[in-house]
């Protein structure tokens, strides 16, 4: 793919900055970057950390590209102070990261002080640097001992998650700006239990539906503990979302796009915001309706303070028959190294559609947006021009949605660091910061330097 030519710049910040009249430039708008525990921490055998489903999955031949694992990853567990210094150098308002559940509790549910102390040090380091903490409780690294008892197919796991949320919100109260219960329950349920691409690697539409229900139930059950233990913090959940577009302007293809959005978006958002699953979902998923106990939906739809949205691309769909759709891969469009189409307009379209659809839509944060690109392997200057253009165009799309009345209050770029990209190992690089995984040297890419310049100019203005 041909990279865009270097632009003529008034300042480096012009590479990524939102439009001059964007509401994103207001001081109260939060800019940040994100990571997750298994993707960066390493130290999987240290200080009492238990095995996770991703440790087991990575150890299973054929599951992860080249057999790579998160055993070392970015070695953030030992290099966290240097990484916080990078956050400070970038001038970020907030840092979104996750806690490793296997690091903070033993099999009996008792606290592991050594693991908890790591997060206390991390949070104190953020506070010293004036950076707010957006903390995710579950970013997919379920303790393996819970998976051995059924994982998210076992309703008891929702209660164990509530115990975990209760412990962490008591231990870390006063240090956290915002709690997230789950990151992307769609991925945890469908990729983990439906198509087997992620840990724990099950392949069953019925299992995916039941896992989703228990993930959402755990979210609702955990909210009262989070509110009681840390009342000054906000509580929410993060969903990965994508707009669907019809391949042709036929009724069948328009219906296919609607079915995709039911599968991708409404499967998660309808229970949270309407207290019900979309009825057509179970026809789409081959009679995979989960077991739902009385009162579950009331628990799941408990109010949240915010909804995080992770946006990367769109889907183009064509009909494959009644209640079926196929993805269409259009040629000659810009793509990332994940083979995802770059389509910034999709962000605006989706934000405005959700704003119309959901009466109870809470304030929104873009909790992940970014791209995997070929940045080069050297730890010298990394001029990631495609990422720079990607960020700038998506900032503009978000700005247009905000101008049209959508309540977006913050934006987190994914990811702070190149890291372990799940089943793709270390091949796909999403970071603002280049990581040499042999030496662990960090190098700020040009996108990061431009982001920092924009934030400095905003602060000075």
Binding-site residue ranges: 39, 139, 183, 312, 414, 421-422
C-alpha span between 282 and 304 (Å, rounded): 26
Kindly calculate the radius of gyration of the chain based on its CA atoms and give it in whole angstroms: 21
Q: Which residues are annotated as a binding site for substrate?
A: 39, 139, 183, 312, 414, 421-422
Q: Cis bond leading into 36, ω under 30°?
A: no
What does the alpha-carbon distance between residue 202 and residue 199 come to, in Å, rounded to a whole number? 8
Q: How many residues does the chain have?
A: 461
**Bridge-partner residues for 344, per DSSP?**
none
* H-state helical runs in 238-372: 251-261, 267-274, 281-284, 296-300, 345-357
Set 41, 147, 261, 368: catalytic member:
368
The set of residues, in sequence order, having a beta carbon less than 8 Å from that of 194 and lying 6+ positions away, is: 202, 203, 204, 205, 207, 208
Of 259, 258, 267, which is closest to residue 290 (Cα–Cα)? Answer: 267
Examine the residue annotation and report whether 381 is marked as an active-site residue of this protein. Answer: no
Q: Which residue is catalytic, options 41, 68, 147, 184?
A: 184
DSSP 225-273: HHHHH-TTSEEEEEEE---EEESSSSHHHHHHHHHHHIIIIIHHHHHHH
Q: Scanning the structure block, which residue is given the tokens 């769909």?
A: 317
With contact defined as beta carbons under 8 Å apart, do 41 and 82 qualify? no
Cβ neighbours, 10 Å, residue 303: 11
Crossing angle of helices 385-403 and 345-357, in 10° steps, is 30
Please report how many Cα atoms fall inside a 13 Å half-sphere around the Cα of residue 427, on the Cβ side: 12
Q: Give yes or no: 88 in active site.
A: no
Strand pairing report for 433-435 and 442-444: antiparallel
Catalytic residues: 184, 368
């Amino acid at each position: 793919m041909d990279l865009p030519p270097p632009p003529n710049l008034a300042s480096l910040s012009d590479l990524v900055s939102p439009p001059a009249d964007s509401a994103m430039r207001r001081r109260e708008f939060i800019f940040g970057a994100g990571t997750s525990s298994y993707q960066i921490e390493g130290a999987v055998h240290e200080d009492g950390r238990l095995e996770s489903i991703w440790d087991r999955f990575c150890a299973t031949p054929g599951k992860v590209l080249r057999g790579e694992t998160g055993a070392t990853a970015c070695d953030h567990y030992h290099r966290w102070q240097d990484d916080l210094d990078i956050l400070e150098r970038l001038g970020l308002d907030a840092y979104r990261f996750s806690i490793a559940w296997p690091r903070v509790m033993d099999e009996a549910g008792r606290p592991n002080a050594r693991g908890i102390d790591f997060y206390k040090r991390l949070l104190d380091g953020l506070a010293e640097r004036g950076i707010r903490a957006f903390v995710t409780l579950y970013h997919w690294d379920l303790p393996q001992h819970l998976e051995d008892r059924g994982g998210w197919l076992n309703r008891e796991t929702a209660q164990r998650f509530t115990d975990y949320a209760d412990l962490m919100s008591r231990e870390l109260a006063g240090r956290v700006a915002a709690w997230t219960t789950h990151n992307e329950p769609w991925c945890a349920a469908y990729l983990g239990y439906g198509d087997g691409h992620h840990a724990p690697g099950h392949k069953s539409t019925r299992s995916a539906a039941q896992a989703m229900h228990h993930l959402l139930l755990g979210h609702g059950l955990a909210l009262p503990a989070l509110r009681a233990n840390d009342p000054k913090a906000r509580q929410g959940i993060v969903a990965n979302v994508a707009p669907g577009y019809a391949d042709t302007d036929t009724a069948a293809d328009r219906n296919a796009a609607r079915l995709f959005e039911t599968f991708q978006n409404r499967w998660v958002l309808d229970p949270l915001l309407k207290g019900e699953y979309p009825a057509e979902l179970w026809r789409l998923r081959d009679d995979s309706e989960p077991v739902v106990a009385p009162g579950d939906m009331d628990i799941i739809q408990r109010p949240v303070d915010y909804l995080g949205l992770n946006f990367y691309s769109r889907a183009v769909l064509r009909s494959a028959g009644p209640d079926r759709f196929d993805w269409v891969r259009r040629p000659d469009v810009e793509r990332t190294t994940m083979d995802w189409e770059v389509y910034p307009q999709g962000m605006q379209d989706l934000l405005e559609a959700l704003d119309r659809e959901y009466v109870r839509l809470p304030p929104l944060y873009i909790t992940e947006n970014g791209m995997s690109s070929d940045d080069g392997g050297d730890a010298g200057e990394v001029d990631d021009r495609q990422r720079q253009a990607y960020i700038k165009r998506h900032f503009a799309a978000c700005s247009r949605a905000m101008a049209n009345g959508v309540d977006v209050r913050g934006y987190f770029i994914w990811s702070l660091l190149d890291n372990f990209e799940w089943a793709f190992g270390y091949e796909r690089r999403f970071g603002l910061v280049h990581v040499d995984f042999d030496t662990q040297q960090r190098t700020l890419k040009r996108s990061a330097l431009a982001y920092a310049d924009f934030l400095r100019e905003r602060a000075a203005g």
